[in-house]
């Protein structure tokens, strides 16, 4: 033990036994153990941001100062952390049995270390063929262990490189996954390649690596990367398909602290390479810039939708049986869906959209035609099936994918030749999915898009349903009659008042309630109590029937903090039960999770729900069961594709309906997300009860404030195409 400047300072070697807590800012608390009692307590807690990315089983050289924590006892406040090769038998056994080396669990680790002792790691490194001396290790398993050991060593070396650049070591395994043994070369020669290719690496991270590697601040490659970053960020964060140059140039220039003139040259170079498209603004005078993918999707969508609109119907022209239960606007919608190859059905809650779809579908089937019902998410498809009594699938599953042997790419085809395709919850269609959809539909097939134009637009870029409703030539019917049964619902009444810009009746009734509290911390505590105790007890249901929805991610009432609190109440850590930390998230058996990216290989899609059924450190795998009953596996390196769903954003709740919804409504950080469309979408997610907890002024702000329009050129392109 080396004594530093003060009596309380120390440097010691210790092994990570367990992660206790990881914050969003990478502040980490870990339970540690030492083999040398002269270094301090045999077991203690260490904390600090210097511990970012450490995993159970690793041996660390720590520098820090001791203090006494009221709950954890002796605690080391770590200021410096360096990974070292474990050297004692206990540390080696802990390292190999922790799951850090895929394929070795605690039992096999014990057998290997018992056989080779302190030379275990040297043997694996230099004489790996000797592993077959251990019982239960044959040639195949030996090869797997050697490969996993090599990968672990490479990732550990990358961690050291990243720390030298001042970058979180958590990114090392993701970089290695993409580039393998070329990872170090990419880091040092072209770090801007990391943007978009490695999950979690945006411009700032790549730029820090580049600058520290000697890339000049005015490098054309750097300026071009900044331009692309601004376009990608605008798409991911704000849903924009393009940015006006008057916005793009100063934004990119500020990002790299260079002159706008230099950035404009970078835009011109990207345009010459066709990485971006610069054209006249759809909204008025001036130029705008698209990333090539977004521009290509807009053009393709317009081309295919115009093709479908101009097609001759393949449906037999018969009048549908007059249903006495239909209102006049519903009959108009049915007629339109049967006679127009493309039509839109829109309207608020309680207006009979689902019944209208059921009549359309049954009429087509009575004519001898075939119908395919779809929705963007699994939950939305299941709900559509329940409401119509007909089978439904996700849009992704409808668009079956097959490899193209000539192009080596993927193309879409419909699994059946449907006469009518119905897409419910069409407000959730982003530009990418909508383009894939219309491109796959055969000419002459009818397409009926059903959705509520007042809900939030899609998570992904674009505003497809809103844009279609802005084009007069697109046939549509808006249902306005609210049925009596729906009028009795406080949720429906509140939703329609919000949609029209009026405050709901407070405190509410009939399933809609507002509970006024001012302090965000108290609001968070009350939301957790309602979701885990009060509502389940009063309604006689489990906590899984109550969904917490949040307007924001950060803050005391955001999805991150509330999600942690709910997880600790509903699914706390259990002694002797495996768990795995991935960044600030810990995954346990029984956790409610949700994919946040489409993964076609696994057959799971953004917004679906799932439950963790197994955490397997030895295999470095998490096993899930989806809401459809499918078993799915995620490796530990893929866990940033999942999020816990104890508390989710309103955007991620689209297409779903929950028996009970609880939501905080506070003006933290200026309440930037509090807007009418968000509040309206939130309220309409509840089936029986929705309870809003928070500040009345925040609720009033949300009702009166409209959301910003997304930058898209789709409406103008489509209007020009249909009028030509």
Binding-site residues for ATP, in ranges, read: 350-354
Q: Cα-Cα-Cα-Cα dihedral of 375, 376, 377, 380, to 10°?
A: -30
CA distance 106 to 93: 8
Longest Cα pair distance anywhere in the chain, in angstroms? 92
Token output for 142: 């030996």
CA distance 405 to 116: 50
CA distance 602 to 74: 45
Rg of the chain (C-alpha set) = 28
Element (H, E) at 78: strand 73-84
CA-closest candidate to residue 608, choices 623, 596, 620: 596
- Please name the residue ranges forming H helices in 511-661: 520-529, 535-539, 559-570
Token output for 4: 């530093």
CA distance 582 to 260: 39
CA-closest candidate to residue 430, choices 400, 470, 395, 454: 395
CA distance 129 to 138: 10
What's the CA angle centered on 566, arms 562 and 572, to 5 degrees? Answer: 135
Element (H, E) at 304: helix 292-310
Contact 430, 413 (CB under 8 A): no
CA 244 to centroid of chain Cα atoms: 27
Length of the chain, please? 724
Number of C-beta neighbours around residue 112 at 10 A: 26
Q: Which residues pair with 580 in a beta bridge?
A: 587
- The binding site consists of 350-354
- CA 232, 235, 241, 242 torsion-angle sign: negative
Element (H, E) at 615: strand 610-616
CA distance 450 to 434: 13
Listing DSSP states for 511-538 in one string gives TEEEEE---HHHHHHHHHHIIIIIHHHH
Number of C-beta neighbours around residue 306 at 10 A: 18
CA distance 553 to 649: 7
Contact 531, 546 (CB under 8 A): yes
Contact 579, 588 (CB under 8 A): yes
CA-closest candidate to residue 267, choices 226, 300, 235, 324: 226
**Residues in Cβ contact with 159 at an 8 Å cutoff, skipping those fewer than 6 apart:** 53, 83, 169, 172
CA-closest candidate to residue 686, choices 524, 555, 493: 493
Token output for 200: 């979690």
What's the CA angle centered on 717, arms 712 and 719, to 5 degrees? Answer: 115
């Amino acid at each position: 033990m080396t004594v530093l400047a003060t009596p309380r300072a120390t440097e010691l070697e210790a092994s990570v036994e367990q992660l206790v807590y990881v914050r969003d800012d990478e502040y980490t608390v870990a339970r540690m153990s030492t083999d040398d009692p002269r270094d301090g307590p045999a077991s203690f807690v260490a904390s600090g941001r210097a511990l970012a990315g450490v995993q159970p089983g690793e041996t660390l050289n720590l520098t820090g100062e001791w203090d006494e924590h009221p709950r954890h006892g002796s605690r080391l406040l770590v200021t410096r952390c360096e990974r070292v090769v474990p050297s004692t038998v206990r540390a080696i056994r802990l390292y190999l049995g922790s799951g850090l080396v895929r394929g070795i669990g605690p039992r096999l680790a014990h057998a290997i270390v018992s056989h080779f002792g302190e030379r275990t790691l040297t043997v694996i490194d230099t004489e790996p063929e000797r592993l077959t001396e251990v019982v239960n290790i044959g040639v195949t398993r030996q090869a797997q262990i050697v490969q996993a050991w090599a990968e672990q060593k490479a990732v550990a070396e990358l961690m050291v490189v990243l720390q030298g650049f001042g970058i979180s070591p958590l990114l090392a395994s993701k970089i290695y996954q993409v580039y393998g043994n070329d990872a170090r070369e990419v880091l040092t020669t072209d770090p801007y390649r990391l943007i978009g290719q490695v999950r979690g690496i945006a411009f700032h991270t790549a730029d820090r690596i580049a600058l520290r590697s000697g890339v000049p601040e005015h490098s054309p490659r750097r300026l071009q990367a900044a331009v692309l970053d601004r376009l990608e960020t605008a798409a991911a964060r704000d849903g924009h398909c393009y940015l006006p140059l008057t916005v793009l140039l100063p934004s990119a220039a500020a990002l790299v602290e260079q002159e706008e003139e230099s950035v404009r040259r970078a835009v011109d170079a990207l345009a010459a390479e066709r990485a971006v498209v610069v054209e006249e603004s759809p909204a008025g005078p001036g130029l705008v810039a698209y990333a090539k993918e977004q521009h290509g999707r807009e053009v393709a969508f317009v081309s295919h939708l115009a093709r479908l609109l101009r097609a001759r119907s393949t449906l037999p022209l018969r009048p549908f049986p007059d249903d006495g239960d239909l209102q006049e606007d519903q009959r108009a919608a049915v007629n339109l869906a049967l006679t127009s190859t493309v039509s839109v059905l829109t309207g608020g809650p309680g207006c009979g959209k689902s019944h209208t779809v059921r009549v359309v579908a049954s009429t087509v089937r009575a004519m001898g035609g075939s119908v395919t019902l779809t929705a963007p998410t699994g939950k939305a498809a299941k709900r559509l099936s329940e409401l119509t009594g007909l089978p439904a699938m996700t849009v992704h599953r409808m668009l079956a994918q097959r490899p193209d042997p000539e192009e080596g790419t993927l193309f879409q085809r419909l699994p059946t030749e449907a006469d009518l395709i119905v897409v419910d919850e069409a407000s959730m269609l982003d530009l990418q999915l909508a383009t894939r959809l219309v491109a796959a539909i055969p000419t002459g097939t009818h397409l009926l898009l059903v959705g509520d134009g007042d809900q939030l637009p899609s998570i992904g870029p674009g505003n497809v349903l809103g844009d279609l409703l802005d084009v007069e030539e697109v046939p549509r019917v808006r249902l306005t009659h609210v049925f009596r049964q729906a009028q009795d619902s406080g949720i429906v009444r509140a939703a329609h008042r919000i949609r029209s810009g009026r405050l709901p009746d407070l405190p509410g009734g009939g399933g809609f309630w507002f509970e006024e509290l001012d302090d965000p911390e108290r609001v968070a505590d009350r939301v957790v109590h309602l979701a885990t105790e009060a509502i389940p007890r009063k309604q006689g249901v489990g906590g899984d029937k109550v969904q917490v929805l949040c307007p924001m991610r950060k803050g005391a009432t955001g999805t991150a903090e509330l999600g942690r609190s709910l997880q600790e109440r509903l699914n706390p850590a259990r002694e002797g039960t495996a768990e795995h930390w991935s960044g600030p998230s810990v995954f346990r058996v029984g956790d409610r999770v949700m994919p946040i990216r489409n993964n076609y290989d696994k057959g799971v899609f953004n917004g679906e729900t799932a439950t963790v059924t197994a955490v397997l450190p030895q295999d470095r795998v998490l096993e899930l069961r989806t809401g459809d009953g499918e078993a799915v596996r995620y490796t530990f390196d893929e866990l940033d594709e999942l999020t816990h769903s104890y508390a989710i954003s309103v955007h991620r709740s689209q297409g779903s309906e929950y028996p009970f919804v609880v939501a905080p409504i506070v003006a933290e950080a200026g309440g930037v997300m509090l807007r009418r469309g968000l509040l309206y979408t939130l309220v309409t997610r509840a089936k029986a009860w929705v309870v809003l907890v928070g500040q009345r002024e925040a609720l009033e702000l949300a009702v009166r404030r409209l959301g910003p329009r997304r930058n898209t050129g789709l409406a103008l392109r489509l209007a020009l195409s249909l009028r030509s």
